[in-house]
Protein backbone atom coordinates (compact mmCIF):
# COMPACT_ATOMS: atom_id res chain seq x y z
CA UNK A 1 0.00 0.00 0.00
CA UNK A 2 1.24 3.48 -0.90
CA UNK A 3 1.77 5.66 2.17
CA UNK A 4 4.12 8.28 0.82
CA UNK A 5 4.73 10.08 -2.46
CA UNK A 6 7.18 12.79 -3.48
CA UNK A 7 5.63 16.04 -4.72
CA UNK A 8 7.50 18.56 -6.90
CA UNK A 9 7.96 21.83 -4.97
CA UNK A 10 5.86 23.98 -7.34
CA UNK A 11 3.09 21.38 -7.43
CA UNK A 12 3.04 21.36 -3.63
CA UNK A 13 2.55 25.13 -3.54
CA UNK A 14 -0.48 24.92 -5.87
CA UNK A 15 -1.86 22.03 -3.78
CA UNK A 16 -1.41 24.13 -0.63
CA UNK A 17 0.93 21.56 0.94
CA UNK A 18 3.49 24.32 1.66
CA UNK A 19 4.01 27.99 0.92
CA UNK A 20 6.31 29.52 -1.70
CA UNK A 21 6.66 31.94 -4.60
CA UNK A 22 5.69 30.80 -8.10
CA UNK A 23 6.99 32.85 -11.05
CA UNK A 24 4.86 30.59 -13.27
CA UNK A 25 2.52 27.95 -11.77
CA UNK A 26 2.82 24.37 -13.04
CA UNK A 27 -0.14 23.32 -15.21
CA UNK A 28 0.75 19.65 -14.69
CA UNK A 29 1.08 18.24 -11.17
CA UNK A 30 4.34 16.33 -10.86
CA UNK A 31 4.61 13.41 -8.46
CA UNK A 32 7.46 10.92 -7.95
CA UNK A 33 7.04 7.43 -6.50
CA UNK A 34 8.54 7.26 -3.01
CA UNK A 35 11.08 4.57 -2.33
CA UNK A 36 13.48 4.02 0.59
CA UNK A 37 16.87 3.97 -1.15
CA UNK A 38 17.86 4.80 -4.71
CA UNK A 39 16.83 3.74 -8.20
CA UNK A 40 17.99 0.38 -9.61
CA UNK A 41 19.20 2.23 -12.67
CA UNK A 42 22.28 4.44 -12.74
CA UNK A 43 21.76 7.33 -15.16
CA UNK A 44 24.80 9.56 -14.71
CA UNK A 45 22.86 12.85 -14.75
CA UNK A 46 20.16 11.80 -12.30
CA UNK A 47 20.20 12.51 -8.53
CA UNK A 48 18.01 9.40 -7.95
CA UNK A 49 20.57 7.07 -9.60
CA UNK A 50 21.98 4.04 -7.81
CA UNK A 51 25.51 5.51 -7.70
CA UNK A 52 24.49 9.09 -6.93
CA UNK A 53 25.32 10.81 -3.64
CA UNK A 54 22.98 13.70 -4.43
CA UNK A 55 20.15 14.89 -2.15
CA UNK A 56 17.56 12.07 -2.53
CA UNK A 57 14.74 14.65 -2.56
CA UNK A 58 16.01 15.97 -5.93
CA UNK A 59 14.94 15.28 -9.48
CA UNK A 60 16.73 17.61 -11.89
CA UNK A 61 17.20 20.89 -9.98
CA UNK A 62 13.80 20.59 -8.25
CA UNK A 63 13.17 19.48 -4.64
CA UNK A 64 10.42 16.85 -4.28
CA UNK A 65 9.59 16.56 -0.54
CA UNK A 66 8.17 13.26 0.69
CA UNK A 67 4.49 13.62 1.66
CA UNK A 68 1.81 11.56 3.32
CA UNK A 69 -0.28 10.19 0.43
CA UNK A 70 -3.62 10.65 2.20
CA UNK A 71 -2.80 14.34 2.68
CA UNK A 72 -1.90 14.68 -0.99
CA UNK A 73 -5.19 13.03 -2.02
CA UNK A 74 -7.20 15.46 0.12
CA UNK A 75 -5.31 18.34 -1.45
CA UNK A 76 -6.10 17.09 -4.98
CA UNK A 77 -9.78 16.85 -4.03
CA UNK A 78 -9.75 20.37 -2.60
CA UNK A 79 -7.81 21.81 -5.55
CA UNK A 80 -9.75 20.00 -8.27
CA UNK A 81 -9.36 21.84 -11.60
CA UNK A 82 -6.01 23.45 -10.72
CA UNK A 83 -4.14 21.05 -13.01
CA UNK A 84 -4.79 20.01 -16.60
CA UNK A 85 -2.65 16.87 -16.16
CA UNK A 86 -1.02 14.74 -13.49
CA UNK A 87 2.39 13.21 -14.16
CA UNK A 88 3.59 10.29 -12.06
CA UNK A 89 7.34 9.88 -12.45
CA UNK A 90 8.87 6.64 -11.28
CA UNK A 91 12.08 5.46 -9.72
CA UNK A 92 12.97 1.92 -10.82
CA UNK A 93 12.44 -0.54 -7.93
CA UNK A 94 10.68 -3.85 -7.25
CA UNK A 95 6.91 -3.31 -7.03
CA UNK A 96 6.91 0.16 -8.58
CA UNK A 97 4.10 -0.70 -11.01
CA UNK A 98 1.87 -1.71 -8.08
CA UNK A 99 2.51 1.69 -6.52
CA UNK A 100 1.83 3.54 -9.78
CA UNK A 101 -1.46 1.70 -10.29
CA UNK A 102 -2.57 2.57 -6.76
CA UNK A 103 -1.47 6.20 -7.12
CA UNK A 104 -3.26 6.58 -10.47
CA UNK A 105 -6.47 4.91 -9.26
CA UNK A 106 -6.80 7.00 -6.11
CA UNK A 107 -5.80 10.32 -7.70
CA UNK A 108 -8.18 9.74 -10.60
CA UNK A 109 -11.00 9.31 -8.07
CA UNK A 110 -10.14 12.65 -6.45
CA UNK A 111 -9.51 14.94 -9.40
CA UNK A 112 -10.16 13.29 -12.76
CA UNK A 113 -7.32 15.06 -14.63
CA UNK A 114 -5.61 12.89 -17.30
CA UNK A 115 -2.61 11.01 -15.95
CA UNK A 116 0.79 10.56 -17.57
CA UNK A 117 3.21 7.97 -16.23
CA UNK A 118 6.92 8.46 -16.92
CA UNK A 119 8.66 5.16 -16.27
CA UNK A 120 11.25 2.57 -17.33
CA UNK A 121 10.54 -0.08 -20.00
CA UNK A 122 7.64 -2.27 -18.82
CA UNK A 123 6.48 -5.86 -19.36
CA UNK A 124 3.38 -6.29 -21.55
CA UNK A 125 1.22 -7.19 -18.53
CA UNK A 126 2.24 -4.04 -16.69
CA UNK A 127 1.44 -1.88 -19.72
CA UNK A 128 -2.05 -3.40 -19.74
CA UNK A 129 -2.44 -2.73 -16.00
CA UNK A 130 -1.69 0.97 -16.55
CA UNK A 131 -4.36 1.10 -19.26
CA UNK A 132 -6.84 -0.72 -17.00
CA UNK A 133 -6.45 1.83 -14.18
CA UNK A 134 -7.10 4.63 -16.66
CA UNK A 135 -3.64 6.06 -17.31
CA UNK A 136 -3.86 8.46 -20.27
CA UNK A 137 -0.28 8.58 -21.55
CA UNK A 138 2.97 6.70 -20.92
CA UNK A 139 6.45 8.15 -21.23
CA UNK A 140 9.73 6.20 -21.37
CA UNK A 141 12.68 8.55 -21.26
CA UNK A 142 15.33 7.81 -23.87
CA UNK A 143 17.28 10.86 -22.67
CA UNK A 144 20.37 10.32 -24.86
CA UNK A 145 20.26 11.11 -28.59
CA UNK A 146 22.64 8.32 -29.70
CA UNK A 147 23.19 4.63 -28.78
CA UNK A 148 26.79 5.42 -27.80
CA UNK A 149 25.83 8.21 -25.40
CA UNK A 150 22.97 6.09 -24.06
CA UNK A 151 25.32 3.24 -23.26
CA UNK A 152 27.93 5.53 -21.71
CA UNK A 153 25.48 7.52 -19.55
CA UNK A 154 22.66 5.15 -18.67
CA UNK A 155 23.47 1.73 -20.12
CA UNK A 156 25.83 -1.20 -19.63
CA UNK A 157 28.88 1.06 -19.16
CA UNK A 158 27.37 2.29 -15.89
CA UNK A 159 26.18 -1.11 -14.74
CA UNK A 160 22.58 -0.77 -15.90
CA UNK A 161 20.53 -3.28 -17.92
CA UNK A 162 19.10 -0.47 -20.06
CA UNK A 163 19.95 -0.44 -23.78
CA UNK A 164 19.09 2.04 -26.52
CA UNK A 165 17.48 -0.74 -28.59
CA UNK A 166 15.57 -1.92 -25.53
CA UNK A 167 14.14 1.56 -24.91
CA UNK A 168 13.22 2.04 -28.57
CA UNK A 169 11.51 -1.37 -28.55
CA UNK A 170 9.72 -0.54 -25.28
CA UNK A 171 8.38 2.70 -26.80
CA UNK A 172 7.02 0.58 -29.67
CA UNK A 173 5.47 -1.95 -27.28
CA UNK A 174 3.72 0.75 -25.28
CA UNK A 175 2.45 2.33 -28.52
CA UNK A 176 0.43 -0.82 -29.22
CA UNK A 177 -1.71 -0.14 -26.13
CA UNK A 178 -1.37 3.65 -25.87
CA UNK A 179 -1.40 4.46 -29.59
CA UNK A 180 -0.55 8.12 -30.20
CA UNK A 181 -0.24 8.67 -26.46
CA UNK A 182 3.40 7.81 -25.86
CA UNK A 183 6.10 10.31 -24.91
CA UNK A 184 9.81 10.33 -24.38
CA UNK A 185 12.39 12.77 -23.05
CA UNK A 186 15.55 13.88 -24.86
CA UNK A 187 18.24 15.76 -22.93
CA UNK A 188 20.18 18.33 -24.96
CA UNK A 189 23.79 18.83 -23.86
CA UNK A 190 24.96 15.30 -23.00
CA UNK A 191 27.63 15.39 -25.75
CA UNK A 192 25.56 14.87 -28.91
CA UNK A 193 25.81 17.14 -31.95
CA UNK A 194 22.82 19.13 -33.19
CA UNK A 195 22.75 16.78 -36.18
CA UNK A 196 22.51 13.71 -33.93
CA UNK A 197 19.75 15.36 -31.88
CA UNK A 198 17.77 16.33 -35.01
CA UNK A 199 18.08 12.75 -36.31
CA UNK A 200 16.90 11.31 -32.97
CA UNK A 201 13.91 13.68 -32.99
CA UNK A 202 13.03 12.56 -36.54
CA UNK A 203 13.40 8.86 -35.62
CA UNK A 204 11.03 9.21 -32.65
CA UNK A 205 8.56 11.45 -34.51
CA UNK A 206 8.39 8.89 -37.33
CA UNK A 207 7.33 6.34 -34.68
CA UNK A 208 4.52 8.61 -33.43
CA UNK A 209 6.34 9.37 -30.16
CA UNK A 210 5.85 12.78 -28.54
CA UNK A 211 9.18 14.37 -27.58
CA UNK A 212 9.80 16.41 -24.46
CA UNK A 213 13.06 18.38 -24.76
CA UNK A 214 15.16 18.97 -21.65
CA UNK A 215 18.34 20.98 -21.19
CA UNK A 216 21.08 19.08 -19.36
CA UNK A 217 21.21 20.35 -15.76
CA UNK A 218 24.26 19.57 -13.60
CA UNK A 219 23.29 18.26 -10.13
CA UNK A 220 25.77 18.11 -7.21
CA UNK A 221 26.44 14.51 -6.20
CA UNK A 222 26.09 13.09 -9.71
CA UNK A 223 29.02 12.11 -11.99
CA UNK A 224 28.05 14.92 -14.42
CA UNK A 225 27.94 17.61 -11.71
CA UNK A 226 30.76 19.58 -13.35
CA UNK A 227 29.41 19.46 -16.88
CA UNK A 228 28.16 22.84 -18.20
CA UNK A 229 24.59 23.39 -19.40
CA UNK A 230 24.13 23.55 -23.18
CA UNK A 231 24.66 26.80 -25.08
CA UNK A 232 21.26 28.56 -25.19
CA UNK A 233 21.50 29.44 -28.89
CA UNK A 234 22.26 25.82 -29.76
CA UNK A 235 19.27 24.80 -27.61
CA UNK A 236 17.10 27.29 -29.56
CA UNK A 237 18.15 25.70 -32.85
CA UNK A 238 17.19 22.27 -31.52
CA UNK A 239 13.84 23.59 -30.24
CA UNK A 240 13.12 25.13 -33.66
CA UNK A 241 14.20 21.97 -35.48
CA UNK A 242 11.93 19.84 -33.24
CA UNK A 243 8.99 22.19 -33.90
CA UNK A 244 9.51 22.18 -37.69
CA UNK A 245 9.81 18.37 -37.75
CA UNK A 246 6.78 17.78 -35.50
CA UNK A 247 4.67 20.25 -37.51
CA UNK A 248 5.73 18.58 -40.77
CA UNK A 249 7.30 21.81 -42.06
CA UNK A 250 10.76 20.25 -42.36
CA UNK A 251 12.65 17.01 -41.76
CA UNK A 252 16.08 16.04 -40.45
CA UNK A 253 17.14 15.00 -43.95
CA UNK A 254 16.27 18.48 -45.30
CA UNK A 255 18.17 20.21 -42.49
CA UNK A 256 21.76 21.18 -43.31
CA UNK A 257 24.63 20.95 -40.86
CA UNK A 258 28.20 22.21 -40.69
CA UNK A 259 30.43 20.60 -38.08
CA UNK A 260 27.30 18.93 -36.65
CA UNK A 261 25.62 22.34 -36.16
CA UNK A 262 22.37 23.37 -37.89
CA UNK A 263 23.03 25.98 -40.59
CA UNK A 264 19.82 25.54 -42.62
CA UNK A 265 16.50 24.34 -41.19
CA UNK A 266 15.17 23.18 -44.56
CA UNK A 267 12.26 25.63 -44.38
CA UNK A 268 11.48 28.91 -46.14
CA UNK A 269 12.24 32.22 -44.50
CA UNK A 270 8.51 32.86 -44.20
CA UNK A 271 7.98 29.53 -42.43
CA UNK A 272 10.93 30.19 -40.12
CA UNK A 273 9.79 33.71 -39.24
CA UNK A 274 6.21 32.54 -38.62
CA UNK A 275 7.46 29.78 -36.31
CA UNK A 276 9.90 32.00 -34.41
CA UNK A 277 7.45 34.91 -34.10
CA UNK A 278 4.81 32.59 -32.65
CA UNK A 279 7.15 31.74 -29.77
CA UNK A 280 5.66 28.23 -29.73
CA UNK A 281 8.87 26.32 -30.59
CA UNK A 282 10.55 27.64 -27.42
CA UNK A 283 7.85 26.60 -24.99
CA UNK A 284 8.14 23.43 -22.90
CA UNK A 285 7.49 20.39 -25.11
CA UNK A 286 6.05 16.98 -24.17
CA UNK A 287 2.60 15.81 -23.08
CA UNK A 288 -0.18 18.31 -23.66
CA UNK A 289 -0.46 20.58 -20.61
CA UNK A 290 3.03 19.89 -19.27
CA UNK A 291 4.89 23.19 -18.75
CA UNK A 292 7.48 21.98 -16.15
CA UNK A 293 8.37 25.53 -14.93
CA UNK A 294 12.09 26.01 -14.28
CA UNK A 295 12.86 22.29 -14.32
CA UNK A 296 16.19 22.99 -16.02
CA UNK A 297 16.89 26.60 -15.10
CA UNK A 298 16.40 29.29 -12.51
CA UNK A 299 13.57 31.81 -13.14
CA UNK A 300 16.41 34.36 -13.37
CA UNK A 301 17.38 32.66 -16.64
CA UNK A 302 18.66 32.01 -19.16
CA UNK A 303 15.36 30.21 -19.87
CA UNK A 304 15.62 27.04 -21.95
CA UNK A 305 11.98 25.86 -21.95
CA UNK A 306 9.49 28.70 -21.60
CA UNK A 307 6.67 27.51 -19.25
CA UNK A 308 4.37 30.14 -20.80
CA UNK A 309 4.18 32.01 -24.10
CA UNK A 310 7.38 34.05 -24.50
CA UNK A 311 6.84 37.81 -24.49
CA UNK A 312 7.43 39.81 -27.68
CA UNK A 313 10.61 41.16 -26.06
CA UNK A 314 11.83 37.59 -25.39
CA UNK A 315 10.92 36.57 -28.95
CA UNK A 316 12.97 39.50 -30.28
CA UNK A 317 15.98 38.20 -28.33
CA UNK A 318 15.39 34.68 -29.66
CA UNK A 319 15.08 36.01 -33.24
CA UNK A 320 18.44 37.74 -32.91
CA UNK A 321 19.96 34.55 -31.47
CA UNK A 322 18.64 32.41 -34.30
CA UNK A 323 18.52 34.58 -37.38
S1 LIG B 1 6.35 15.29 -20.90
FE2 LIG B 1 5.77 16.05 -18.89
S3 LIG B 1 3.84 15.06 -18.39
FE4 LIG B 1 4.76 13.96 -20.09
S5 LIG B 1 5.90 12.26 -19.16
FE6 LIG B 1 7.33 13.96 -19.44
S7 LIG B 1 7.31 15.13 -17.55
FE8 LIG B 1 5.50 13.81 -17.57
- In order, the DSSP letters of 210-229 are EEEEEE----TTSTTTTPPP
* Residue from 113, 139, 288, 295 to probe ligand 1 pocket by mutation (most atoms less than 8 Å from CB): 139
Average pLDDT (194-211) is: 98
The Å distance, Cα 125 to ligand 1 centre, comes to 22
Nearest CA to ligand 1 atom 4: 287
CATH number for position 80: 3.20.20.70
* Residue from 8, 11, 27, 28 to probe ligand 1 pocket by mutation (most atoms less than 8 Å from CB): 28
* Cβ neighbourhood burial of 300 (10 Å; 0-12, 13-18, 19+): exposed
Does pLDDT of 6 surpass 90?
A: yes
Q: Which domain holds residue 186?
A: 4-322
Nearest CA to ligand 1 atom 2: 290
Check pocket membership of 284 for ligand 1, CB cut-off 6 A. Answer: no
pLDDT at 233: 96
- Can you give the pTM of this predicted structure? 0.96
pLDDT at 321: 85
Q: Which atom of ligand 1 is nearest to the CA of 138?
A: 5
Average pLDDT (195-200) is: 98
Does pLDDT of 323 surpass 80?
A: no
Average pLDDT (199-210) is: 98
Structural domain count, the chain? 1
Q: Could you give the CA distance from residue 216 to residue 128 in angstroms, rounded to a whole number?
A: 32
Check pocket membership of 183 for ligand 1, CB cut-off 6 A. Answer: yes
8 A C-beta contact, residue 245 and residue 217:
no
Average pLDDT (301-310) is: 96
Percent of the chain's residues with pLDDT above 90: 98
Check pocket membership of 28 for ligand 1, CB cut-off 6 A. Answer: yes
The Å distance, Cα 194 to ligand 1 centre, comes to 23
Local structure of 314: helix, strand or coil? helix
The Å distance, Cα 30 to ligand 1 centre, comes to 8
Check pocket membership of 212 for ligand 1, CB cut-off 6 A. Answer: yes
Local structure of 87: helix, strand or coil? strand
> Considering Cα of 260, then 263, then 264, then 265, what sign does the dihedral take?
positive
Looking at every residue in the chain, the average pLDDT score rounds to 97
> Considering Cα of 23, then 28, then 34, then 38, what sign does the dihedral take?
negative
Amino acid sequence: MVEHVRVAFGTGIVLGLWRGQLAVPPTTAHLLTYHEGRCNANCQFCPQARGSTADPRMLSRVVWPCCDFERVLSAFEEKKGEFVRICIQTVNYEGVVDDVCELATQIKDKCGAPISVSCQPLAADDIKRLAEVGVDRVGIALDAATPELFDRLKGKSVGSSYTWEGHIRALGDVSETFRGKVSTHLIVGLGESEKEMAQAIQLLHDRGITIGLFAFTPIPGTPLANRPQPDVTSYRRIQLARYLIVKGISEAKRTKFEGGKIVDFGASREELCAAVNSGEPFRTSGCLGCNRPFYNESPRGPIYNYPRKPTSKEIAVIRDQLL
